[in-house]
Amino acid sequence: MAFDPPYASARSTRVVFFERRELDRLLRLYGRMVAAGEWRDYGIDGLEEAAVFSVFKRASEAPLYRIEKRPSLARRQGAWAVIGHGGHVLRRGHELEQVLRFFDRGRFRVVD
C-alpha cells in the first residue's frame, strides 16, 4: 500500500506501508515473542521503497530483525524478507506467512 502523507509537498514521492492485515499479523508475532521474553520493543518505518518492521531486544540497540516489504521485488525474489542483525537476508518470499515461519523454528540451546 502506498500513500502520500498529509504534509507532503507536490514534489514528494509515495511511501510504502503495511496493510491492516499485514500489520495485525506482525503485531501478533511481536506479542508472542514479547511473552516469550525474546523481544522488548519495535519500530515501524514507511519509506519510499520499503515498509520496515524492526524488533529490538533493548530499545537502545540495533534491531535484532527487520521484516521488510519491498513491492518492487514482488515479481522476482518476493516482496517480503527477514533481515538479521548483521544485514543478512535470513528468509525471503512472496507471502508474509511464508516468511514469518522463520520465527516458528525451534531454538537450539547449549545444554550442560
pLDDT 10s digits, 25-53: 999 999 999 998 889 999 999 999 999 99
Residue 5 corresponds to which amino acid?
Answer: P
CA distance from start to end of the chain:
49
At residue 2 the predicted structure's pLDDT band, cuts being 50, 70 and 90, is low
> CB under 8 Å to 97, separation ≥6 — which residues?
25
Domain ranges of the chain: 13-104
Q: What is the model's pTM?
A: 0.79
